[in-house]
Amino acid sequence: MACMLEAPLRISVLSEVTATSRHYVDRLFDPDPQKVLQGVIDMKNAVIGNNKQKANLIVLGAVPRLLYLLQQPSSSLELRTECAVVLGSLAMGTENNIKSLVDCHIIPALLQGLLCQDLCFIEACLRCLRTVFISPVTPVQLLYPDPTVIPHLMSLLSRSQRTQEYITQIFSHCCKTPEHQTILYNHGAIQNIAPLLNSPSYKVQMQALKCFSVLAYENAQVSMTLVNVLVDGELLSQVFVRMMQRDRPIEMQLTAAKCLTYMCRAGAIRTDDTCIVLKTLPCLVRMCSKERLLEERVEGAETLAYLMEPDVELQRIASVTDHLVAMLADYFKYPSSVSAIADIKRLDHDLKHAHELRQAAFKLYASLGANDEDVRKKITETENMMDRIVSGLSESSIKVRLAAVRCLHSLSRSVQQLRTSFHDHAVWKPLMKLLQNAPDEVLVMASSTLCNLLLEFSPSKEPILESGVIELLCSLTQSDSPALRVNGIWALMNMAFQADQKVKVEIVRALGTEQLFRLLSDPDANVLMKTLGLLRNLLSTRPHIDQIMSSHGKQIMQAVTLILEGEHSIEVKEQTLCILANIADGNTAKELIMTNDDMLQKIKSYMGHSNVKLQLAATFCVSNLIWNEEDGSQERQDKLREMGFVDILHKLTQASDPSLCDRAKTAMQQYLA
C-alpha cells in the first residue's frame, strides 16, 4: 500500500517546485516595476545554493526575461544590477546552466552593460562575466569579436579592486592562443596589470600574477618586455622572486615560479641567472614534496620539467636538489594508506586524480634524464622504476601513456640502459603494443624510442626484428605527419645498419621501390636525409651492393642524379655522394657509374667544389672506381685519365685540408702502382 502512495506524492512535490519556480518567473512580467524589482530580489534569495531551483528557472525561461530587463533603458539601475546578480548566481550552477546562458547571448548583453557609468552595476556584470568565462564550456573566443571590448576592460581596471580582480581573471582564462596574447599585449596589458602586483588585495595580486603567466607562456615578445618592467621602482622579475618566498601562500609561490619559468624558456632570462638557479628551481622542487596537495605537486613537477627540458646544467642541479629523484617515487604511491587525508571528499578527489601525479612524475623524469648518464642511472635504479614505466605504457589515460613513453624515450638515449634495464624488462613488448593503434603524438614518441632500441648494440634489436616490425615501420613512412615519416625511415635505417642480407631484402620488399623513391623526393629535409641514410646502409658490403643494384640500379642512379642536380643542402649532397662511393665499391655495381658519362662528369665537378666535404666524398668515389686490386681497374683508370680526373687529383694532393689531401694521394697511388 505504501508503494502505491509514493508515486503520486513525488509528482505533487515536483509540481509544487515547478509551480513555485513558475511564480518567480511570472512576477518578472508584472506591469508594476516595483513588483518586478521585488520579484528579482526574491528570485536572487531563492537560487542561492540551490542548483535545482536554478535549473527550473532556466527551463521556465527566466534568462531571456532577465536579460531583457537588464538591457532596457527604462529599467532602474537597481533592477538592472539585481538582474546581473541573479544571472551571476544562475551561472554558479552546473555546466548546463552556463551553456543555456551562453546560448541566450548573455555575453554580448553583459559586455554592453559595462558601458554604463554606475560602479555597482559594472561590478555585477563583471562578476557574472567572470563566472561564465571561467567555465570550461564557454568558448573564450566570445571575448574577442568586438575590438572595443578589450580596451574598455583595460580602462575599467582603475575603477575598484573588484573590477581589477574580475577583469584580470577574465583575461587569464581567455588568453589561450598566441593571437590572444598579442591582442592583450597590444592593448597595454603589461602596463595596466603590472601595478596590480602590489595591490593590497591578495585576490587582485593573484589574478594579476596568473595573467602574466599566460601572457608570457612561449611568447618571446611578451617575455622580453616583462624583463624591463618596473613596479614601484622594482624590476618585475624581482617582484616574482619576492612572491616565491616560503612565507607566501603556495598558490602565489607556484604562479610566480611559472612566470619566471616561462620568461626563461622564451629566452628573456638566462638559464644560469640566479633568479632561476637559486630561486625558481628550488621553489618548484619544494612543490614536489609529499606535504603539498596533489594539484600543487602535479603543477610543480610539470613546470619544473618544462623549465629544465632544454638545459643540461639545470637538469644536473635539479637531480641533486632535495633528493628529487627519490621524492618523485612517492608520486606512484599516492594516496597511500598513510596519506594524511582526514577529509573524505579530498580523498575521493585525489583517488580520481592520482593518474595526474604519475603523468607529472614521468614528465619530470623524462626531463631530468634527457642528457646526463648518471641521472638516467639514478632514475632506473629508483625502486621499481622500469616496472612503473612498463605499467604506464598500458594505462587507460592517454596522457599517462604519453608521459611514460616520453620517459622511456629519454632513458633510451643511454647505451648502458639499452644494454641492461631495457633488456631485463623486455620494454620492447609493451612499446610494440603501444605502436599498434595510438594517436599521432604517442606514435611519434613511441617510434622515436623504437629507433633507439634498433641501434646495433641494443639487445632488443633481434627480438623486435622477429616480431614483424618492418611492415609497421614501412606504414609509418606513408604517414601525413613528417615526424612519423622521419621516425619510420630512421628506424629502418638503424635496422639496416650492418644487417644481414635477409633483413635488407625484407626492408626493400616491404617498403617497395616506389615508396623508397617517393621518400627521396620528400619535401621534408629530415625525411630525405634519413632515406639517404637507409639507402647507404642497404648498399654496404659488396654482395649486398651488387644484389640491390642489379635489381634496382636504374631507379637508384636516377634518384642520385636528381638529388645531385637539385637545390639541396650540402649535407644531403654529401650523403648522396657517399651512396655513390658505396656503389663504386661493388664488383658489378660500379659499372652503372662507369657506363654513365653524365654521372662521371658530375663526380668530376664535385671534386672541384668549394665545399671540402663534397670534394672528399667525390674523391672517395673515384678512389673506389680505380682501385688496383679489382678486375677491370686498368680500363677504368684509363677512361678516367682521358676524362681529366688525374689532373684534378694531382691538384687535390696540394689541398690545404689534410683529409682531402690524403684521400687524393691514396687515389693517385692507384695510378702509380
Task: Tell whether the model's pLDDT for residue 14 goes beyond 60.
Answer: no
Which residues lie below 8 Å from residue 35, measured CB to CB, with a gap of 6+?
Answer: 27
- If you average pLDDT over residues 193-212, what whole number do you get? 97
What is the rounded average pLDDT for all residues in the chain? 91
Task: Tell whether the model's pLDDT for residue 365 goes beyond 70.
Answer: yes
Supply 296's cell numbers: 600543487
SS3 230: strand
- If you average pLDDT over residues 113-117, what whole number do you get? 96
CB atoms within 10 A of CB 340: 7
- If you average pLDDT over residues 235-241, what whole number do you get? 97
**Assigned fold of 468-538:** Leucine-rich Repeat Variant (1.25.10)
Domains of the chain by residue range: 468-538, 552-672
In the DSSP assignment, the letter for residue 381 is: T
**Which of 211-225, 334-348, 534-548, 651-665 has maximum average pLDDT?**
211-225
Same fold, 468-538 and 552-672: yes
Task: Tell whether the model's pLDDT for residue 12 goes beyond 90.
Answer: no
* Confidence bin at 143 (pLDDT 50/70/90): very high
Which residues lie below 8 Å from residue 527, measured CB to CB, with a gap of 6+?
Answer: 482, 485, 486, 489, 519
Q: State residue 546's pLDDT score.
A: 93
Which residues lie below 8 Å from residue 92, measured CB to CB, with a gap of 6+?
Answer: 54, 131
Hey, which residues does 235 pair with through a beta bridge?
230
SS3 231: strand
Which residues lie below 8 Å from residue 141, measured CB to CB, with a gap of 6+?
Answer: none
CA distance 98 to 80: 20
Smallest Cα–Cα separation from 127: which of 91, 79, 94?
A: 91
- If you average pLDDT over residues 151-177, what whole number do you get? 97
| The residue count for the chain | 673
Backbone angles phi, psi at 615, to 5 degrees: -60, -45
pLDDT digits (tens, 9 = 90+) for 386-409: 999 999 999 999 999 999 999 999
CA distance 220 to 265: 9
pLDDT digits (tens, 9 = 90+) for 585-596: 999 999 999 999
Backbone angles phi, psi at 230, to 5 degrees: -110, 135
**Alpha helices (H) in 48-147, listed in sequence order:** 51-59, 62-71, 77-91, 95-103, 106-113, 119-133
* Confidence bin at 231 (pLDDT 50/70/90): very high
CB atoms within 10 A of CB 48: 11
Q: State residue 599's pLDDT score.
A: 93
- If you average pLDDT over residues 51-74, what whole number do you get? 92
- If you average pLDDT over residues 460-487, what whole number do you get? 92
Output 298 or 468, whichever has higher pLDDT: 298
- If you average pLDDT over residues 175-187, what whole number do you get? 97
CB atoms within 10 A of CB 146: 12
**In contact, 184 and 225? CB cutoff 8 Å:** no
* Cα dihedral 599, 605, 608, 611 sign: negative
Least reliable range by pLDDT among 229-238, 258-267, 616-625, 628-637 = 628-637
Task: Tell whether the model's pLDDT for residue 657 goes beyond 60.
Answer: yes
Q: State residue 513's pLDDT score.
A: 85
Task: Tell whether the model's pLDDT for residue 340 goes beyond 80.
Answer: no
CATH class name, domain 552-672? mainly alpha
Measure CA of the first residue to CA of the last residue in the chain; give whole Å: 117
Rg (alpha carbons) of the chain, rounded to whole number = 35
CA distance 268 to 502: 54
**In contact, 235 and 226? CB cutoff 8 Å:** no
Question: Could you check whether the bond before residue 335 is cis, i.e. omega within 30 degrees of 0?
Answer: yes
Q: State residue 617's pLDDT score.
A: 94
Smallest Cα–Cα separation from 298: which of 383, 403, 434?
A: 403
CA distance 640 to 503: 36
In the DSSP assignment, the letter for residue 365 is: H
Residue 79 C-beta-side C-alpha neighbours within 13 Å = 21
* Cα dihedral 624, 626, 627, 633 sign: positive
- If you average pLDDT over residues 313-324, what whole number do you get? 94
Q: State residue 342's pLDDT score.
A: 62
Task: Tell whether the model's pLDDT for residue 423 goes beyond 50.
Answer: yes
